[in-house]
Structure 1
């Protein structure tokens, strides 16, 4: 019997974060193997909890959560989000411009479905969070990648972005702070990208889910207030800053010249209505989240858990003969490069599988983030520092074995190379 055919464009979609390697990890766990899984930015899996004032907000209103709500979300929650963005300088936004979804993931899909006709193009960063590419493809669009080069601290070149604009280009995606690299975008860079969108009448799609996860004085610049009348859709939610991934609460805020956005806003509203509404209980935590105390900054400062884990990763890469790292300025990830003898003939997917099988560590191959090179991998910063040092000891052990295949002499570490120089 022939197999049931599926949508052909699915063959173009990659999502290795939960793909083949994750399936192999589950097989190993079922056989009794203990693994350290660093493939998903899932705070609850590493002992983080949503803040008590968010939990209490849901508990206090649980009796009100049985009915459907408005397709754009609870009015009070949308008003609270709008007020929060007004405090950031987005003066002309109200509850009608806010859409609440089942996480940012659903809203990314809805927005691209509202925007794209077959063959339309979306400018996407490389590396990207692969959902952006997948959602573009599955909504019959074409992702066109602009480079965020490691030699430029993973920041894009606006001049290159503009060369990629065609008659079919509809939008520019920005992820700031960036997943997977941790780069944060300076104001002047954002202004140059906004100017490109203005010249070519493009929509800015801005993923700011990690907006408050910042290290070592890094500054976050919200894009929408800078964009002014340029159409912009800003995404955020409760999953990362507020450590509530499983609640599936995200939002998108539409800003810019209203006359230009009228049809797009209607399309977003229609698509939101077709799925009835987003999960209701989690929406009752939004007002408490955007108006409540800051519970993330302490975790990102010296002595805080995320900061100390990040420090452990930076030190491990600095001491390794095989790794090079652009230190993440924000978000929950590091994106090291494999260098030297260990990098000869390196295939990131094969390495990730070997690391899983031999050392019990699950990472995501860098090429999963739609880059042309194959010598990077991504880890999440959510384990504690002690566990992360153990992780990188195992990674170095696996890379030592690779290097020995090419050179019997162990090369100098990055720190030793600097001292020698």
Structure 2
């Protein structure tokens, strides 16, 4: 990773080796290119982002407004968070998935799901250990592994296997060294979902090989065509081998509120709470109260949000079909994963769409080697803007 050189200090300031190991933030470059195009006066449609575009539901905002004046929340909160919030997420999981969680031992409150996904590697991995990572996958998995000084072994997610990892393809040596593995469904970036049988296979594989499972369920509420995404934790034996990471960001449009959870295995939850004791003093109590209100209140907003994303998906894929860009419709998440014409790399194709159509997409290579040949689009603009973006691309005559 390239780190900036500082020249204002009285002596050279050298970054620690762990910072030098961090992967380059690929998408910072993407944002820079898009902003430069906008600065030139172009009407850019940004479909490369993963930032929810809708406001937080009004009743959740009102809960924060009501809680903010409470003097109790102006003091340091309990280090591991208020019990009422942990009880609220446990109730939500029981109501939605039939999963029973002990709020005190099997729930950790996180500063957003991303924080926990980075922390879990630092909790469990030593130098020389292996972490099994999906490819393509969320780049911050890599960050946590690098900070821990451990090694990554990538599990290709291929269209021919429904974008699920093939555990039988892993080398016995890598499996023996593995202590942690990440899985993520509904998947970012492929928009695939996983059947219950996949989780059963994963639990068996993890138990047989002593590997902790970290299930990233960030898009757990967003499944299409009447199919509810399966939670890792609802499968027998899941809590014995791993944890699930859940976030308020996508389900409730609370990305900026930074509330997430690690759920499941009590030993892993204890370790996450331990490392957080050294970093944080939990979230502002008013935000915890509002998050609890979101989890225990009416869930109409969640159903309406999923319906909106499904309508956007249908509008996008209808427009794609009209220009001859054939792809499998998204099964979940708020992304679309689309194949690139063979004559381009994913980065070249993304640059072409930006420069010739003023449309931003995320190149698949940014998510890992197996992401090459695809681009990711976000369903995070109106149906009209999604359709307009595809119509602009259609005028380039790249398909058919």
Q: TM-score, normalised by structure 1?
A: 0.84
2:122–2:148 contact (8 Å) kept in structure 1? yes
Question: In 1, distance between residues paired with 2:393 and 2:161?
Answer: 25
For residues 320-365 of structure 1, give each alpha carbon's deviation from its aligned partner in whole angstroms, at most 9, with x where no partner exists.
Answer: 33x33221111010010023xxx22x12112222322332221110
Whether the 8 Å contact between 1:335 and 1:378 is mirrored in structure 2 is yes
The question of whether the paired residues in 2 share the 8 Å contact of 1:366 and 1:375 is answered with yes
Structure 1 residue 68: Cα displacement: 2.1
Question: Following the alignment from structure 2 to structure 1, what is the Cα–Cα distance between the partners of residues 278 and 214?
Answer: 22
**Runs of at least 5 residues in structure 1 that lack an aligned partner in the other structure:** 404-410, 413-421
Q: Among 101, 106, 110, which residue is 1:101 paired with?
A: 110
How far the C-alpha of 1:77 sits from its partner, in A, is: 0.5
Which 10-residue stretch deviates more, 234-243 or 88-97? Answer: 88-97
State which of 57, 62, 82 in structure 1 corresponds to 2:63. 57
Which structure 2 residues correspond to residues 102-251 of structure 1 after superposition, within 5 A? 102-160=111-169, 165-228=174-237, 229-251=239-261
SS state of the match for residue 15, structure 2? coil
- TM-score (normalizing by structure 2): 0.89
* Other-structure match for 1:80: 88
Mapping of 1:15-414 within 5 angstroms? 15-17=25-27, 19-43=28-52, 46=53, 48-64=54-70, 65-87=73-95, 88-160=97-169, 165-228=174-237, 229-255=239-265, 258=266, 261=267, 264-280=268-284, 281-294=286-299, 295-301=301-307, 305-321=308-324, 323-339=325-341, 343-344=342-343, 346-372=344-370, 374-398=372-396, 400=397, 403=398, 412=400
Q: Which runs of 5+ in 2 are unaligned?
A: 7-12
CA contact (8 A) 2:90 2:100 kept: no
Q: 1:265 to 1:187 in 2, by over 3 A?
A: closer
Whether contact under 8 Å (1:306, 1:384) holds in the other structure is no
Residues 129 and 150, structure 2, Cα contact 8 Å, conserved in 1: yes
Aligned length: 383
In the alignment, the residues of structure 2 paired with residue 389 and residue 164 of structure 1 have an alpha-carbon distance, to the nearest angstrom, of 48
Q: CA RMSD in A?
A: 2.2
Contact 2:340 2:346 in 1 (8 A): no
Deviates more, 1:75-84 or 1:203-212: 75-84
Provide the rounded CA distance (Å) in 2 between the counterparts of 1:61 and 1:224.
31
**3-state SS in 1 of match to 2:133:** strand
| 8 Å CA contact 1:144, 1:164 repeated in 2 | no
TM-aligned CA deviation for residue 62 of structure 1: 0.3
Q: Structure 1 58/36 Cα, relative in aligned 2: closer, same or farther at 3 Å? A: same
